[in-house]
Structure 1
């Protein structure tokens, strides 16, 4: 009698082992850092990973009120690493307890399954980031005063919410790079996802390092809203292909946000910072308001927006062609049906006439000639 072989667990530290247990490893490291705060000796080193660093406190002579601001530095890499682990763990939780359960009910194909998971993860992130970023803009009133984007530059001192927002943004997009390996993304989708992930990392990190946090925050919030509408519409489309109204709203807002981004970027780099230019380029003071940096930033924003519009136009043309190709066979079917309906009455009259000739008057009998 033969015994059934049990499924062998993958070898430790192999590719399969890392992919299967990456969420558990991330949660374990997070718990190690949190437990390090209990004892006094390791708390001095573990606090760098958890708390936001480079606190700067200002006091006014007239009042004893203190104002807390934050700068950036090399210790931010440790904080970004910790919250990247948190993002990996949350990614696994959303995937296992929400998206996988919905996928089992929908019974999607492999391609739609991967796109559904991608849109589900991004929809949660965009929703959270949009609400958080909008609350910061509402509290600081950056939208009500556009001159604050370049007034009193460099903005080397950040509030806690602004710095923590940027750290979480960078940590999430760095975690998205690792998820390309952990989620076994198909080779066809890797270049596309790798492209937009790298663009997010470059633009958000550039705004953070160059002390353009206000401009980056104002540009990110409406962009995240548009992306949220797109991925939410994509999720509804996978559940029911007739639900496509969200894509029309996304298309309108997409063009409007691209114009808003270009307008604010030209105003900030071309007019605002150019008039308030400080010739003293200083990395220590965080002053990067010089002509080459402004041209580089404006060029990066314009090229990115042009590339996004080009992809958007190609996407819309592709959908339009598919719609036209689907309408052609429908027209042929309707034309053939109309032709058949026109011919059917003639056949009916012919049949009715034949029936009358059989049942009605006797047909004429030809007389044969005598031979």
Structure 2
């Protein structure tokens, strides 16, 4: 579906403004070309690589079931699939921006600085909400919520279900689409390094869980992280509507600390017990077994490092806010003291004029008499 932002001027074709205004139309045209390739026999095989999940293995039906099951691994063809769903993510981003966030911004009449933050929180809130619902459904269908010990009891395997692989492909596509969105949304230069770190950390950990076949562990940790981030951005949206709203932030601070602690506990239990009790302790890239000491240390150090980094950033932000509030309150107190001293030191003054110069003062009355 083509999405076009209305503007009074028509910029030149392929110019900077033209790409910014019509990037969703351009991306949708590329996606339509890949879809139309399915209609022709010569191009169908190439188009299928972009649209459907690849590297599937069909297992014969078990004794109790009559249907065969298909599981998925990963390979080079996944790059094409991630590229196609990155295009889909850009189109969905433009749809939410134009038909939801822009209309709310016009009603609320946000300034430009607040509008950019509102758009960021709105986009991420929608993504985190969908991801939390989707991830919870996967964990429920595979009985990981009813029995969390399956994380470290289950044997390591190198296969994923359809929903699990599609979830990871979608996650990688979404965070990859965030890089061109920095250009499309005209992000400020001072905000680009922060955004690059934020996007890069998500891509690094999601890709690591996907490539090391730590799918369920990665999914549980993502759900914990996404839930905390969802609560944070929802509180931010309420704050944009009413600046006096502060109730949700105290709840978010408690959930944030609990989320970090649960993340560390789950990582230690899963990596420590599950991988230590595995039958094979040798690395085999072909079969997807990375159960070696180096991989364990890398996973645990990465998990602990990112939790420490996020917590440190939160502490710095809170300290900066407290400093700004204290510097804002001190000048106000000084102004009140100076104004009160000025009024008391000037004896016999009223409205900026000395009362001794008035005609009805006692000294003037004596001089007249």
- Relative to the length of structure 1, the TM-score reads 0.84
Residue deviations 1:24-66, cap 9 Å, x none? 1111122222222233332222111111112222222564332
- Segments of 5+ residues of structure 2 without an aligned counterpart are 1-7, 342-369
Q: Quick check: 1:54–1:73 contact (8 Å CA) kept in 2? A: yes
Q: CA deviation at 1:327?
A: 4.7
Q: CA deviation at 1:315?
A: 1.6
Compared with structure 1, are the counterparts of its residues 62 and 112 closer, same or farther at alpha carbon in structure 2 (3 Å cutoff)? closer
Compared with structure 1, are the counterparts of its residues 338 and 16 closer, same or farther at alpha carbon in structure 2 (3 Å cutoff)? closer
1:20 aligned onto 2:15: no
The 1-side partners of 2:23 and 2:62 are apart by: 49
Q: CA deviation at 1:85?
A: 0.3
RMSD: 2.7
Aligned residue for 1:150, secondary structure, equals: helix
1:274 aligned onto 2:276: yes
The 2-side partners of 1:251 and 1:224 are apart by: 14
1:45 aligned onto 2:37: no
Q: Quick check: 1:233–1:247 contact (8 Å CA) kept in 2? A: yes
The 2-side partners of 1:271 and 1:61 are apart by: 32
What is the aligned partner in structure 2 of residue 154 from structure 1? Answer: 156
Q: CA deviation at 1:298?
A: 0.9
Q: Quick check: 1:162–1:213 contact (8 Å CA) kept in 2? A: yes
Q: CA deviation at 1:211?
A: 0.1
Number of residues paired by the alignment?
340
What is the aligned partner in structure 2 of residue 356 from structure 1? Answer: none
What is the aligned partner in structure 1 of residue 243 from structure 2? Answer: 241
Compared with structure 1, are the counterparts of its residues 8 and 56 closer, same or farther at alpha carbon in structure 2 (3 Å cutoff)? closer
Compared with structure 1, are the counterparts of its residues 62 and 270 closer, same or farther at alpha carbon in structure 2 (3 Å cutoff)? closer
- Relative to the length of structure 2, the TM-score reads 0.84
Residue deviations 1:271-291, cap 9 Å, x none? 331232623211110000100
- Segments of 5+ residues of structure 1 without an aligned counterpart are 1-5, 340-371
Residue deviations 1:220-277, cap 9 Å, x none? 1121111111111111111210112121111111110000111111112233312326
Aligned residue for 1:266, secondary structure, equals: helix
Q: Mean alpha-carbon deviation: is it higher for 320-329 or for 148-157? A: 320-329
Aligned residue for 1:146, secondary structure, equals: coil
Q: Quick check: 2:206–2:218 contact (8 Å CA) kept in 1? A: yes
Matches within 5 A, 1:302-317: 302-317=304-319
Aligned residue for 2:149, secondary structure, equals: helix
What is the aligned partner in structure 2 of residue 255 from structure 1? Answer: 257
Compared with structure 1, are the counterparts of its residues 337 and 139 closer, same or farther at alpha carbon in structure 2 (3 Å cutoff)? farther
Matches within 5 A, 1:123-272: 123-272=125-274
Matches within 5 A, 1:96-115: 96-115=98-117
The 2-side partners of 1:220 and 1:8 are apart by: 43
Q: CA deviation at 1:146?
A: 3.2
Please say which structure displays the higher CA radius of gyration. Answer: 1
1:66 aligned onto 2:87: no
The 1-side partners of 2:65 and 2:283 are apart by: 34
Q: Quick check: 1:147–1:272 contact (8 Å CA) kept in 2? A: no
The 1-side partners of 2:338 and 2:129 are apart by: 49
Aligned residue for 2:306, secondary structure, equals: helix
2:301 to 296, 299, 305: 299
Q: CA deviation at 1:188?
A: 1.0
Compared with structure 1, are the counterparts of its residues 320 and 157 closer, same or farther at alpha carbon in structure 2 (3 Å cutoff)? same
